[in-house]
Structure 1
Amino acid sequence: MFPLSPLSRAVALACLSVSTVHAQTLDEAAQPSSTVVVTATRGAKSVDKIPGAISVISQQELASQYLIADDPSQALATYVPGYSPSRQKMTSAGESLRGRQPLILLDGIPQSNPLRAGSREGYFADSAIIERIEVINGASAMQGMGATGGIINYITKSARADGTTHGLSVRASGQLRSDNLDWKTGYHVTHKDGGFDLLAYVGMQRRGMGYDGNGRRLGIDNVQGDTLDSRGDDLFFKIGQRFGAQRIQLSLNRFTLRGEGDYKNEPGVVAAGVPTTSLPGRAPGEPPKNKVRSASLDYRHDALFGGAFSAQLFSHDFEALYGATPASTFQDARLAPIGALYDQSQIVADKRGARMTWVRPDLLLKGLEMTVGLDILRDNTLQRLATTDRTWVPQLQFASTAPFAQLEYDIGPLTVRGGVRHEQARLTVDTYSTLAAYGNRVVQGGETEFSKSVKNLGAVWRFAPQWSAFVGSAEGFGLPDVGLVLRGVNTAGKSVATLIDLQPIITRNNEVGVNWRGANGQLGVSRYESRSKLGSVLRVSAAGIGSVERVPTVVKGWEVSGDWRPLKALSVFGSYAVTDGKTAATQGAPLDLSLPARAQGPDKGVIGANWQWAPKAQLRVQAAHLRDRAINIGRKAGTSKLEEHFKGYTLADMALTFDSAYGRFGVSLENVFDKQYVGYYSQSTAALDAAGTYAGRGRTLALSWNRSW
């Protein structure tokens, strides 16, 4: 069903010497992998009791990857089999998990904006504050709305050792050109004294331009957003106090990433295969930027009525400004001659919420655990045109209340889990008028409500020492991009309450898998099928205008991943993922269209090794292969051309770190062989767009130093 190329088969076979959870480092690998604990399930849970494919990216693995490329999505693409290739941009359009959108969290605070998904949620915090990343693959309702593809929870660092510790870090990378130096520095202080702990971090980063394998300056995306020619800063603060069995904690994060505006996009030559580049100069308007402000107050009681209770109050304020463009959608003859009006889109999303969970082990009988809780979310999202102060998407007032309950029963080597979450949600929108490009249509405001129970059921059987098998079925709850639907209304007489496009997306993920976890390695293989009867597919017309089509979608795939330690000083790791997503041209039509690059990544293999060649030195080498993909040949849906072609490529990286009395030093090479390539998304989706065919980074040298005292 999934034919493989010779190179793909080789990578997949190599992965059979490795496993599902990448949570062990060279120093930790001797310990049983079942000790790895995942908190994204709403309670601390060993991975061998979770009926699903879990990926845990450890702090050491993140440090190695961020030395190679300080790019959050590139770390996910390396360690999570079903995550699509990184765009290497501020925009994350086209980045997905198993062909669907994941819910992104920071310490449980939702960072995603499903009501108006502007593809800017990938940059919300400095990578230096992240301790590990937990990924639950496949649809889930454990953390609320939006996890139709899975959950990605970034866990921030905390003070671990008693006393006061200071730390300083510096990273610089470049390609030996005058305008492409990237540098980053950060300072942190931690303090722990009995039940009191504190962590504070301040960091700043400046990114220059980049060059491809042919030595040509990379193209900058002045509209959707780019990390090229940008600056970022982050201020993070966490303070906690324990009182016996109770703990209270306050966290604050203030992050900003913005373009400098010193370069502008220069289209390439599609017919000659010349990708987009950049020239010195200022593009119209203000450069794109992300501004994120998050806060949470957490409380935990480890012995409340025989169980553990946790509660979180959170706020999340998000702003994304996009670059100026004379897009046809923005034109209005009342403001300027048609074609002469430049405007800038801005998304503003403010969330307030509360999350409560109580976990009671050994309820009524030994081995029976109950988890109950309640989530409350208030989300206000709008999209405006900042230059002319026009409404593009009216304020979307979303309110959700969701109680849930989960039971887990351990019967010897068998663990059975099942639960239900009831989503009671309401969307309120005031009466508004669409832009002139859509005919200045008046859309009557109103309310639309959703009430849906989503379920999960699964089991894990530890059928032999170090071996386990799982089977699971879980549903996820989400909405289509409501803003994209409402802003595109171009016929009279519409109202919010009657727009069928606002019906929720319910996705069911069925999965089976086998895991081996031993002292010297681990291996995991899983097969899944994800279905939604009323899915959401973004299609772009010949005029370049996007619209949401509500059609069924099915994603099938398999994944293998793991690691193995043949020698005390050597470990190898790898993964291979096959993803096959299908949809229909219209409701009722056959499911014979492949999901596009906007929604699904190509088949992907990753393999690498860590070699501790000296007591305080480690070498890391890795390679990633993306398989060729040609889909929907000659097919259209309305005026949208669906045909896509992708020529795969293989990239290799390496990193060397060593400890000394003066701190830890690191040196890395990204794209070791200086491969010339055009990214997956650009090849597939923007193949005919001379201004959007972006090449990837060529060979890049990075140096780092960090020290704690």
Structure 2
Amino acid sequence: MTPLSRAVAAACLSMAAVNSFAQQAEAGAEPTMIEVVVTATRGAKAVDKIPGAISVISQQELASQYLIADDPSQALATFIPGYAPSRQKMSSTGESLRGRQPLILLDGIPQSNPLRAGMREGYFADSFIIERIEVINGASAVQGMGATGGIINYITKSPRANGTTHGVNIRASTQFRSDNLDWKTGYSISHKSDAFDFLGYAALQKRGMGYDGKGRRLGIDTVQGDTLDTHGDDLFVKIGKNFGDQRLQLSLNRFNLEGDGDYMKNPDATGADLPTSSIPGTPQGEAPRNKVRSASLDYRHANLADGSLTVQLFSHEFESLYGATKVATFQDTRIAPANTLWDQSQILADKLGSRLTYVRPDTFVTGLEATVGVDVLRDQTEQRLAITGRIWVPLLKFNSTAPFAQLEYEFGPVTLRGGVRYEMAELEVDTYTTLAAYGSRTVQGGSAEFSKAVKNIGAVWRFAPGWSAFAASSEGFGLPDAGLVLRGVNNPDQSVSSLISLQPIVTRNNEIGVNWRGANGQFGISRYDSRSKLGSVIRINSAGVGLVERVPTTVKGWEVSAEWRPSKQLSLSGSYAQTDGKTAATQGAPMDLALGARSQGPDKAVLAGNWKWSPAVRLRLQATHLFDRDINVGRTVGTSNLEENFAGYTLADAAITFDTGHGRVGVSIENLFDKQYVGYYSQSAAAADPGNTYAGRGRTLAVNWSRMFRSAR
């Protein structure tokens, strides 16, 4: 995309917002602020008082997007400008936020597994239970380790109305082929009274195969994991009780997604010029799966010493099984003859933690708000080879205690905010032996300790009705993929405590922006600069093995978003994101290599329109354009080929919902014009991995029916 076309895209969005503002002024109506409150900053706060780029995807927006595609990553890619395109797979490799990995939360419970990032964190809960998604763009330390790219917090639904309500939801999608019907059915019960409130949900789901725009069966990723040919279920419970100013709440989530094992890749139809396809067959070993178990006990006191106290105790159990392969890394002639040994990778991660937050307004002086607290995390992660029982990544025992303090001072139209979080972390690993492919090296156990203060400072100026400007500088703390580092040790006489590759990643994000929110629309534009002196880049060598390189990384970008509501019945919205990530071949080398598709997405523009045709009928049309990206032409580092070529494409979707006397009916068409395309990550990685060139879904029809029933009192 040329600089001129980038400027035109930004100008078009700006004109839409300014036009809305001008129309209000001509009508003599002063634009009013539409207050949007987020909680991902450790306290409920209006977005115009937070120095930074904050996005909230509402329940109505999620409902329309999940009608089009029941894919959490696709919803993020549609509504979050800096989020990379969805893989449409169980694997989320390449799904980054502003060129870095975000920390994913469910009601504040960490779902990400940064110690051994198997890129399976995209599927952990059923879409029905999500009320909204809060996104903090850019490095942030407020929620702990792993937020070098930002925070994505999925907020679950809560009972809203008194009484008892039952709900039924059925969704089905098809491309009118015999093996590609997707269906999901769910039942919910909600109760609210003076005694207690309760929300329960249970769902079953079955996904068939898919077809591309040319009618070819999509390729199934039987190793990294796929949503094709799978079944799943979710059981969610939330129960709470208020005691005056106090509240106690328990929530549990049990989620499963597992392959059926009825299809395999077509070995005669792969290559960079021909997308991977599938044929009926039974792959070796067990089918890939995700199992997630989350639990949270929350206590809140809304009036404790003139402040509010929130305490959360949580646990999170995560298991991901990958498909069987006889890759060279798994071979061991002590077990089986060379090139005959099949095995399956399995990642297990267990977390226990607590989060304490106390917020007190008017501390010492009027307008000064203090937020203090401490987070404790105990994370144990390992990676096994499930068939032979071998240890690939030893048990990583990570302990972190992080006190933090934040001060916010508001005077007139200005809000100043600054804080510090002090990470005291230790990673402990016992002595272990690497796989035979790495030389069966004995690595002496030990520990690596990290103590780091990460800071943030920023200001917001509300300089006119509805308008605000912000400037912010924030740091995020994380670790490189420690498991990937430790499993690949192939030199003798190594110890855990001496591996420089385990030094932490500290990312600083500097950002400025302008926002407008009024009765008839909103507009925002921001410019950011994110830097890591000792970053982490994964490069795939000629053997197909990922290696962690500790090199500096810089990501710069522009983001523009706008919405115009000319009437109560019609709204038009658009966004544009330009991302430019750079790194170096080695420490001290020039920063002249572009970050690859594993790390960042292409430039992206989204346009959408919502029309409330009548009080009972709503229509949504949307289009996403991904711009061409050709990088690192002819460049290599070691045996890693860094050249990537991506030919952009445009996709359009439509959805319509009807409110009837028998419930709400929704009908959608994904890929409205049946575009034939190969996904961004698959195109970019085709040179290194031509056997995994996956096309995207062709035109797909989905129908959804839901109905709520209130119990008689």
When normalised by structure 1's length, the TM-score is 0.97
Counterpart in the other structure of 1:663: 663
Between the aligned partners of 1:261 and 1:32, the Cα distance in structure 2 is 55
Give the match for residue 313 of structure 1.
313
Alignment check: 8 A CA contact 2:534 2:551 kept? yes
Partner of 1:627: 627
Aligned 1:27-66 pairs, distance under 5 A: 32-66=32-66
Q: Is contact 1:455–1:474 with CA below 8 Å preserved after alignment?
A: yes
5+ long unaligned stretches in structure 2: 19-29
Match in the other structure for 2:488: 488
How far, CA to CA, are the matches of 1:49 and 1:287 in structure 2? Answer: 48
CA distance in 2, matches of 1:273, 1:379: 43
1:54-108 superposed Cα distances (whole Å, 9 cap, x missing partner): 1100000000000000000000000000000000000000110000000000000
Q: Aligned ranges for residues 66-465 of structure 1 at < 5 Å?
A: 66-267=66-267, 273-465=273-465
Amino acid at match of 2:279: L
Structure 1 gap ranges (5+): 21-29
CA distance in 1, matches of 2:342, 2:595: 33
What are the superposed Cα offsets for residues 584-629 of structure 1, whole Å, 9 maximum, x if unpaired?
0000000000000000000000001000111110000000000000
Choose from 13, 36, 60 the match for 1:15: 13
Deviation digits for residues 337-389 of structure 1 (CA, Å, limit 9, x no counterpart): 11101100000000000000000001111110000000000000000000000
Question: How far apart are residue 5 of structure 1 and its match?
Answer: 7.1
Change (3 A) 1:446 1:230: same
AA partner of residue 125 (structure 1): A
Change (3 A) 1:42 1:620: same
TM-superposed CA distance for 1:685, in Å, is: 1.2
User: C-alpha distance in 2, partners of 1:89/1:205?
Assistant: 16
Q: Quick one: which amino acid aligns to residue 14 of structure 2?
A: L
Counterpart of 2:494 in 1: which secondary structure? coil
Question: Alpha carbons of 1:226 and 1:270: their partners in 2 closer, same or farther (altered >3 Å)?
Answer: closer
User: What is residue 521 of structure 2 aligned with on the other side?
Assistant: 521
Question: Equivalents in 2 of 1:5, 1:611: separation in Å?
Answer: 32
One-letter amino acid of the structure 2 residue matched with residue 200 of structure 1: G
Report the secondary structure of 1:112's partner residue.
coil
Other structure's SS at 1:120 match: coil
The amino acid across from 2:358 in the alignment is: W
Asked if the contact 2:563–2:572 (Cα under 8 Å) also holds between the matched residues in 1, the reply is: yes
> Secondary structure at 1:16's aligned position in 2?
helix
Structure 2 distance, partners of 1:412, 1:16, is 27
Query: Over residues 516-551 of structure 1, what are the superposed CA-to-partner deviations in whole Å (9 max), with x where a residue is unaligned?
Result: 111100000000000000000000101111110000
Inter-partner Cα distance in structure 2 for 1:122 and 1:483: 19
Q: In the alignment, which residue of structure 1 is the partner of 2:26? A: none
Which runs of at least 4 in structure 1 moved beyond 6 Å after TM superposition? none
Separation in structure 2 between the aligned mates of residue 402 and residue 31 of structure 1, nearest angstrom: 42
In the other structure, the counterpart of 2:22 is none
The amino acid of 1:628's aligned partner reads D
Structure 1 residue 32, shift from structure 2 partner: 4.7
1:669-684 alignment to 2 at 5 Å? 669-684=669-684
Q: Structure 1 residue 274: deviation in Å?
A: 1.2
The residue matched to 1:61 in structure 2 has which SS? helix
Q: Distance in 2 between matches of 1:280 and 1:341?
A: 23
What's 2:544 paired with? 544
Q: What code does the residue aligned with 2:90 have?
A: M
8 Å CA contact 1:538–1:548 kept in 2: the answer is: yes
Give the CA deviation at 1:3. Answer: 2.8
Q: C-alpha displacement at 1:195, in angstroms?
A: 4.9
- What is the distance in 2 between the residues matched to 1:130 and 1:480? 30
Give the Cα separation in 2 of the matches to 1:272 and 1:53: 38
Aligned residue for 2:691, secondary structure, equals coil
CA contact (8 A) 1:267 1:692 kept: no
Per-residue deviation at 1:14? 3.7
Query: Residue 19 and residue 308 in structure 1: after superposition, are their counterparts in 2 closer, same or farther (change >3 A)?
Result: farther
Instruction: Give aligned pairs, total.
Output: 698
Asked if the contact 2:31/2:465 (under 8 Å) is kept, the reply is no
Partner of 1:506: 506
CA distance in 1, matches of 2:390, 2:615: 62
Letter in 2 for 1:535: G
Q: Which residue of 2 aligns with 1:565?
A: 565
Identity of aligned residues (%): 71
Tell me, yes or no, if structure 1 residue 589 matches structure 2 residue 589: yes
CA distance, structure 1, for counterparts of residue 283 and residue 191 of structure 2: 46
- The answer to whether the 8 Å contact 1:168/1:708 transfers is yes
Equivalent pair of 1:16/1:523 in contact (CA under 8 Å): yes
Structure 1, 561-570 or 696-705: larger mean CA deviation: 561-570
Residues 115 and 482 of structure 1 are in contact (CA less than 8 Å); yes or no, is this contact kept in structure 2?
yes
Q: In the alignment, which residue of structure 1 is the partner of 2:2? A: 3
Deviations 1:541-573 (A, max 9, x none): 011111100000000001001211012210011
Q: Could you say which residue in structure 2 is the equivalent of 1:25?
A: none
State the superposition RMSD in angstroms.
1.4
Alignment-mate amino acid for residue 86 of structure 2:
S
Deviation of the 1:230 alpha carbon: 0.3
Q: 1:504 to 1:271 in 2, by over 3 A?
A: closer
Contact 1:14 1:574 in 2 (8 A): no
Q: Once the 2 structures are TM-superposed, how far is the Cα of residue 18 of structure 1 from its aligned partner?
A: 5.7
Q: Deviations over 1:168-208 (max 9, x none)?
A: 00000010000000000100000000251000000011000
Question: Secondary structure of 2:535's match?
Answer: coil
> Please, which moves more after superposition, 684-693 or 258-267?
684-693
Q: Provide the secondary structure at the position in 2 that maps to 1:508.
A: strand
Shift of 1:12: 3.8
Measure the CA separation in 2 of the matches of 1:84 and 1:272.
22
Distance 1:33 1:669, change over 3 A: farther
Question: Shift of the alpha carbon at 1:271?
Answer: 6.1
